[in-house]
């Protein structure tokens, strides 16, 4: 093998070019201006192309100009942080070992991947079905998280439509089911890193839905992009949202897109809040490979599964692996 194509030479070149031009676009997570989706068809087609390229190369991207006001985003982070500041007794009413509870609060590693984080998880779409179960304290919680959830659900619909069209599926594919589909919010609270701690707040994992949309109060999210398999920190660009691919989009796309492995690192400068919104079909609806993406040359790669199947899988997932690995059809 010539020296210039040996793995260590290429690795050192990659490192060098990264060190010399850290802001060069191919090294930074793609940022998509979502407002351009609503422009003329040619512009929309270009944005869709950019989104799908980001999904293939990175498994994630950031969105700006998504139409959610700064005050709604700030309000959601404030409500989350006020919830975590409540006394233990207000939070512990939501603690349960039953992962099927509609609202769940916990402080550590019952789920196998949490380290230092505490979290509150609950459903959000359709809002009128779920808001009655949400915390009543802080008193603004339901209003602020509700406003944010509705806006994020809207953005998730736009993104799914763009991604599925980018894969060659017809406009509005699955739209009705997505409208009624599940939205699952995970509010995460991470302490500031101190030197005695493990740096990891949340161990590497992928999310099970189609898409996750994440709002972070400060940096801490790291991703393993598909194109180069090394951890990359995701900056907290003011006003931007981070979007990544989940296991069920890998299934729906018949493996054309892959779910993104990510983790959270404790921030040395401050405690950190993030709000992850996970979007999928309704709980009992099985997600299958889109039949339009299966043919003689592209056999079906995954078995169908629902969110309930995912919940059944969780307790058996002791050595953490992606849910989608358990769905692969042998020999396909």
Task: With beta carbons less than 8 A apart as the criterion, state whether 224 and 260 touch.
Answer: yes
Among 262, 279, 300, 322, which residue sits at the site for ligand OGA (rule: CB under 6 A)?
Answer: 262
Among 220, 225, 255, 280, which residue sits at the site for ligand OGA (rule: CB under 6 A)?
Answer: 220
Using CB under 5 A as the binding rule, the residues of this chain from 30 to 49 that contact Ni ion are: none
Among 111, 207, 247, 250, which residue sits at the site for Ni ion (rule: CB under 5 A)?
Answer: 207
165/259 with CB nearer Ni ion: 259
Contact residues for 208 (Cβ-Cβ < 8 A; gap 6+): 246, 247, 248, 278, 280, 307, 310, 323
Helix axes 70-85, 141-166, angle to 10 degrees: 130
Among 153, 156, 216, 256, which residue sits at the site for ligand OGA (rule: CB under 6 A)?
Answer: 216
Among 125, 259, 274, 305, which residue sits at the site for ligand OGA (rule: CB under 6 A)?
Answer: 274
236 binds, among ligand OGA, Ni ion, none (CB under 5 to 8 A by kind): none
Among 215, 224, 264, 327, which residue sits at the site for ligand OGA (rule: CB under 6 A)?
Answer: 264
Residue by residue, DSSP assigns 49-105 as: HHHHHHHHHTSEEEEES-S--HHHHHHHHHHHHHHHHS-HHHHHTT--S-TTSSEEE
**161 is a site residue for Ni ion (CB under 5 A):** no
**246 is a site residue for ligand OGA (CB under 6 A):** no
220 binds, among ligand OGA, Ni ion, none (CB under 5 to 8 A by kind): ligand OGA
301 binds, among ligand OGA, Ni ion, none (CB under 5 to 8 A by kind): none
d(CA 287, CA 94): 30
φ/ψ of 159, rounded to 5, equals: -70, -40
Contact residues for 198 (Cβ-Cβ < 8 A; gap 6+): 115, 116
**279 is a site residue for ligand OGA (CB under 6 A):** no
Residue nearest Ni ion, CB atom distance: 207
**183 is a site residue for ligand OGA (CB under 6 A):** no
d(CA 150, CA 135): 17
| Number of alpha helices (DSSP H) and beta strands (DSSP E) in the chain | 9, 12
101/288 with CB nearer ligand OGA: 101
d(CA 138, CA 79): 7
32 binds, among Ni ion, ligand OGA, none (CB under 5 to 8 A by kind): none
Residue closest to 152 by CA, chosen among 237, 222, 214? 214
Helix (H, G, I), strand (E, B) or coil at 204: strand
Which residues are near Ni ion by CB under 5 A?
Answer: 207
Which residues are near ligand OGA by CB under 6 A?
Answer: 186, 188, 202, 207, 214, 216, 220-221, 262, 264, 274, 276
């Amino acid at each position: 093998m010539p020296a210039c194509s040996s793995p260590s030479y290429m690795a050192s070149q990659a490192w060098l070019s990264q060190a010399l031009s850290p802001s060069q676009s191919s090294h930074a997570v793609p940022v998509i201006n979502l407002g351009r989706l609503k422009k003329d068809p040619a512009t929309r087609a270009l944005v869709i192309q950019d989104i799908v390229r980001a999904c293939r190369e990175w498994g994630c991207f950031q969105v700006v100009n998504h139409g959610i006001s700064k005050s709604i985003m700030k309000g959601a982070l404030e409500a989350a942080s006020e919830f975590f500041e409540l006394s233990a007794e207000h939070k512990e009413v939501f603690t349960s070992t039953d992962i099927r509870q509609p609202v769940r609060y916990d402080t550590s590693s019952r789920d196998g991947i949490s380290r230092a984080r505490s979290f509150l998880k609950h459903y959000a779409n359709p809002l009128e079905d779920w808001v009655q179960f949400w915390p009543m304290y802080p008193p603004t919680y339901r209003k602020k998280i509700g406003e944010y959830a509705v806006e994020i659900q809207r953005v998730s619909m736009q993104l799914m439509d763009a991604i599925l069209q980018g894969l060659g599926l017809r406009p509005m594919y699955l739209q009705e089911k997505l409208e009624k589909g599940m939205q699952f919010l995970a509010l995460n609270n991470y302490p500031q890193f101190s030197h005695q701690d493990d740096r990891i707040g949340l161990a590497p994992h992928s999310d099970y839905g189609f898409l996750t949309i994440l709002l972070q109060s400060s940096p801490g999210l790291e991703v393993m992009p598909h194109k180069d398999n090394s951890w990359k920190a995701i900056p907290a660009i003011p006003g931007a949202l981070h979007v990544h691919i989940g296991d069920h989009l890998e299934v729906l796309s018949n493996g054309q897109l892959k779910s993104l492995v990510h983790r959270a690192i404790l921030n040395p400068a401050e405690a950190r809040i993030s709000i992850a919104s996970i979007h999928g079909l309704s709980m009992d609806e099985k997600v299958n490979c889109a039949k339009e993406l299966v043919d003689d040359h592209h056999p079906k790669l995954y078995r169908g599964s629902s969110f309930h199947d995912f919940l059944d899988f969780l307790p058996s997932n002791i050595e953490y692996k992606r849910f989608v690995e358990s769905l692969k059809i042998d020999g396909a």
